[in-house]
Structure 1
């Protein structure tokens, strides 16, 4: 396996960013739909409502882009190096959830995010 180059680090960060963006789009779409009620609406109608919500559909497409990028990275970089970087998506999503969605992010979550950042820094130095 090749040593990670700046190109692959950029692809890893692209993967992380698109992964986080997909989660944010999925949340926005599902927030528009509200609580799902399979019993009242039925499975087929619910599935179509979810899949064809523009934000959900865009989020799913973004996941495909993220996965393609990740597969490219995995073809050249060790899994034990590349995969932990995906945890940085938690950092992006938590910040976005707080600022854009007004979600409560308490001290324990902030401490968890700090540990994720520290751990990823250690892995990047290996």
Structure 2
């Protein structure tokens, strides 16, 4: 994979990861959302979340990530680009641990290590062409 192509793929992945973190921050501001509390409570919660800056930022990041991802797919085989989305798991686990204080167990870190190895193998397979 060419350097510029990798930048497009990585940009799409990172925008998607940032979107997830912003949505998490917005959702955390609402606390535990109960979908069985009644339609009026759920509607008020949804309306409030729709106006939350973190939720809005997350949605904007998603929209931009889709545009960036389309550019990336025009340049890279989907069988190489799509597995690169797994980088987002690594980024999100690290940032959730750092920003939100989420516990990441040893088993989860081992799984993340397996993902990293898989991403490296897939990325290197594209350079053999």
Q: 1:27 aligns with which of 24, 27, 43?
A: 24
Number of matched pairs: 123
TM-score, scaled to structure 1: 0.91
Q: 1:92 deviation in Å? A: 0.4
Deviating beyond 3 angstroms after TM superposition, the runs of 4 or more aligned structure 1 residues are 40-43
Asked whether 1:46 is paired with 2:32, we answer: no
**Residue number in structure 2 paired with 1:70:** 69
Name the CA distance, whole Å, in 2 between partners of 1:66 and 1:109.
26
Which residue number corresponds to residue 105 of structure 2?
106
Unaligned ranges ≥5, structure 2: none
1:7 aligns with 2:28: no
Residue 87 of structure 1, CA deviation: 0.5
Provide the aligned C-alpha RMSD in A.
Answer: 1.3
TM-score (norm: length of structure 2): 0.89
Structure 1 residue ranges without an equivalent (≥5): none
